[in-house]
C-alpha cells in the first residue's frame, strides 16, 4: 500500500450507527489511515466534508435528508484528488444501478455491505474496504511521483506467422505495411517532427508534466479493425463513456473486460446503452459477435475469442480460475491476437498490469495497442505497465483514443 508521510484522513458517512462503528474499527486498524469524523446523514456529511476536508470518504447510498448520490453532486469530487470517495452500500440488483450512478458522479469504487443472499459480513467488508483504501492511497500519494520512463530500446518479439484459413486460412492473413502508422520518438525522447500536430504537441506537454515521454511502437497491421478488445478497471465506469462516445456505433464488435463483480455487469451494460444510445449488452457464451455492438464481459467471468466461421467470432466464457483480475484482459487480448485478422487492443484506467501480457501478443502480430494517457487516468497502473513495456502504439485521453479508432474505420469521431 502506498503510504503517505502522515496518515490519510477518513470521514465516514452512514446513517447506521452499527456500520459507522464497524467502519471506524476497520479504518482505525488499517495502517496509514485515521478516522477524523462521522456523519449520520447526507446533509451533515456534506457539511463535514467542507469543514474537515478529509482525504477519503466512505459514503452510504441510502440515507435520510440527502442520499449518497446527492452528496456526490454537491461535493463533486475532483478526479485524482481529495476527497477520494468509496461507496459502502447494499450489494443488490437495485443497489447495483444506484452504485453505478454514484461511480458516474465521482466515486472511485464501492464496497458491498450486504447482498440479496447474505447479511452484512464484516470480515468481507473489512477485507474489501482495505483494498479500496489502498487504491485511494495510490491515487493520493502516487500522482506526485512520475512513472518510470519506458526504455527507449524496448523490444517487441518478432511478428509470428499470421493465422490462416478456418484454423487460420489465407482469408485471415493481415495486410502488412512497412510504414509505421503510429508516431515514433526521436533518440532524444522528443516527439518526431512528423507528430507535430496540435494534438501531438498537447500530448507531449501532458507527458512532460508527469515525467513520461512514451516510446511508441510502430504498427505494421493496416486496414479496418475486425475486433476491438478493451481492458478497464478502477475508474472504468466513468471512463468508458468518454472512450466509446466518439466511435460508436462501430463496424466491428467491441469486447470490454471491465473488472467488476457479477451483479454489476448487466447494470453497467444497461447504463452505457442508455448513455450512448447504442447497443451495449452483457456477453453470452457462444453467441455470435456482430458489428455495431459493444459486449461487456460478465462480472467475475473470463472469456476468450474463438472463430465460429470465417470472419465471424464468438466468446467462450470461462470460470475465473486463478486469474487475479476478472474479467481478465490478458486472456481476452491473447485470444484476439490468435483469432482475429486485424485486432486492436485498448488499455484504460486501472491498478495493476492486466492487459500488458495480452498486449504483447497483439504487438507480436503488429496490431495497434491504444493506451490511455496516464495523466488522465483515475489509476494509472494498467496504462503505465503497457507504456513501460514498450507496447503502446498510441497514447491519449479516452476520447482521443475513441476518435483514433473511428479514423481507423474510415470515419470522423
Instruction: Give the DSSP per-residue string, 41-91.
Output: SHHHHHHHHHHH--SEEEE-SS-SSS-HHHHHHHH-PPTTSSPEEEEEEEE
Catalytic residue among 89, 172, 232, 233: 233
**Model pLDDT, residue 41:** 95
Q: Are 379 and 349 in contact (CB under 8 A)?
A: yes
- What's the mean pLDDT in 364-385? 93
The answer, yes or no, to whether residue 15 has pLDDT greater than 90, is yes
**Model pLDDT, residue 178:** 30
The answer, yes or no, to whether residue 210 has pLDDT greater than 70, is no
What single-letter DSSP state applies at residue 116? S
- What's the mean pLDDT in 382-407? 95
**Model pLDDT, residue 384:** 93
The answer, yes or no, to whether residue 187 has pLDDT greater than 50, is no
Catalytic residue among 14, 60, 226, 354: 354
The answer, yes or no, to whether residue 129 has pLDDT greater than 70, is yes
DSSP 167-185: TB-GGGPPEE-SS-SS--B
The string of pLDDT tens digits covering residues 225-248 is 999 999 999 899 999 999 999 999
Q: Is 259 a catalytic residue?
A: yes
Q: Is 233 a catalytic residue?
A: yes
Whole-number Å distance between alpha carbons of 299 and 86: 19
Catalytic residue among 60, 259, 271, 385: 259
Percentage of the chain surpassing pLDDT 90? 56
**Model pLDDT, residue 111:** 87
Cell match 453470452: residue?
284
Q: Are 325 and 385 in contact (CB under 8 A)?
A: no
Grid coordinates of 207:
507527458
**Model pLDDT, residue 264:** 84
Q: Cα 350 vs. chain centroid, distance in angstroms?
A: 5
The answer, yes or no, to whether residue 199 has pLDDT greater than 50, is no
Q: Is the peptide bond before 61 cis (omega within 30 degrees of 0)?
A: no
Cell match 480460475: residue?
321
Domains of the chain listed by start with CATH number = 8-142 (3.40.50.2300), 170-408 (3.40.50.180)
First-to-last alpha carbon distance for the chain, in angstroms, is 39
The string of pLDDT tens digits covering residues 297-336 is 999 899 999 999 999 999 999 986 666 778 999 999 999 9
Neighbour tally for 158: CB within 10 Å:
6
- What's the mean pLDDT in 258-279? 91
The mean pLDDT value of the chain amounts to 81
Q: Is 393 a catalytic residue?
A: no
**Model pLDDT, residue 22:** 93
E strands, 80-167, are 84-91, 109-115
Amino acid at each position: 500500500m502506498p503510504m503517505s508521510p502522515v496518515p490519510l484522513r477518513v470521514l465516514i458517512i452512514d446513517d447506521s450507527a452499527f456500520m459507522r462503528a464497524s467502519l471506524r474499527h476497520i479504518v482505525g486498524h488499517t495502517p496509514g489511515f485515521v478516522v477524523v469524523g462521522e456523519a449520520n446523514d447526507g446533509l451533515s456529511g456534506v457539511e463535514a466534508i467542507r469543514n474537515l476536508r478529509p482525504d477519503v470518504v466512505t459514503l452510504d447510498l441510502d440515507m435520510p435528508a440527502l442520499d449518497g448520490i446527492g452528496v456526490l453532486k454537491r461535493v463533486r469530487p475532483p478526479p485524482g484528488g481529495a476527497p477520494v470517495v468509496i461507496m459502502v452500500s447494499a450489494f443488490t440488483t437495485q443497489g447495483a444501478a444506484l452504485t453505478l450512478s454514484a461511480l458516474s458522479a465521482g466515486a472511485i469504487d464501492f464496497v458491498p455491505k450486504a447482498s440479496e443472499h447474505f447479511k452484512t459480513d464484516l470480515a468481507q467488508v473489512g477485507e474489501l474496504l482495505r483494498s479500496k483504501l489502498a487504491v485511494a492511497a495510490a491515487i493520493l500519494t502516487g500522482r506526485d511521483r512520475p512513472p518510470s520512463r519506458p526504455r527507449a530500446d524496448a523490444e517487441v518479439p518478432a511478428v509470428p506467422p499470421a493465422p490462416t484459413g478456418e484454423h487460420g486460412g489465407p482469408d485471415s492473413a493481415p495486410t502488412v505495411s512497412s510504414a509505421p502508422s503510429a508516431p515514433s520518438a526521436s533518440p532524444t525522447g522528443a516527439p518526431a517532427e512528423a507528430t507535430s500536430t496540435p494534438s501531438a504537441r498537447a500530448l507531449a506537454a501532458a507527458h512532460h508534466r508527469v515525467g513520461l515521454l512514451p516510446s511508441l511502437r510502430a504498427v505494421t497491421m493496416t486496414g479496418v479493425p475486425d475486433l476491438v478488445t478493451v481492458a478497464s478497471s478502477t475508474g472504468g465506469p466513468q471512463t468508458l463513456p468518454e472512450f466509446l462516445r466518439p466511435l460508436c456505433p462501430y463496424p466491428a464488435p467491441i469486447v470490454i473486460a471491465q473488472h467488476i463483480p457479477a451483479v454489476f455487469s448487466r447494470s453497467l451494460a444497461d447504463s452505457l446503452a442508455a448513455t450512448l444510445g447504442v447497443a451495449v449488452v452483457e456477453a453470452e457464451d457462444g453467441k455470435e459477435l456482430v458489428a455495431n455492438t459493444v459486449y461487456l464481459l460478465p462480472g467475475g467471468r473470463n472469456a476468450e475469442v474463438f472463430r465460429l466461421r470465417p470472419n465471424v467470432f464468438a466468446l467462450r466464457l470461462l470460470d475465473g480460475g486463478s486469474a487475479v483480475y476478472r474479467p481478465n484482459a490478458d486472456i481476452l487480448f491473447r485470444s484476439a491476437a490468435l483469432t482475429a485478422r486485424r485486432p486492436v487492443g485498448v488499455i484504460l484506467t486501472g491498478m495493476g498490469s492486466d492487459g500488458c501480457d495480452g498486449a504483447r501478443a497483439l504487438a507480436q502480430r503488429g496490431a495497434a495497442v491504444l493506451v490511455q494517457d496516464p495523466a488522465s487516468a483515475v489509476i494509472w497502473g494498467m496504462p503505465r505497465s503497457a507504456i513501460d513495456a514498450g507496447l503502446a502504439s498510441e497514447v491519449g485521453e479516452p476520447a482521443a483514443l475513441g476518435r483514433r479508432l473511428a479514423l481507423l474505420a474510415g470515419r470522423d469521431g
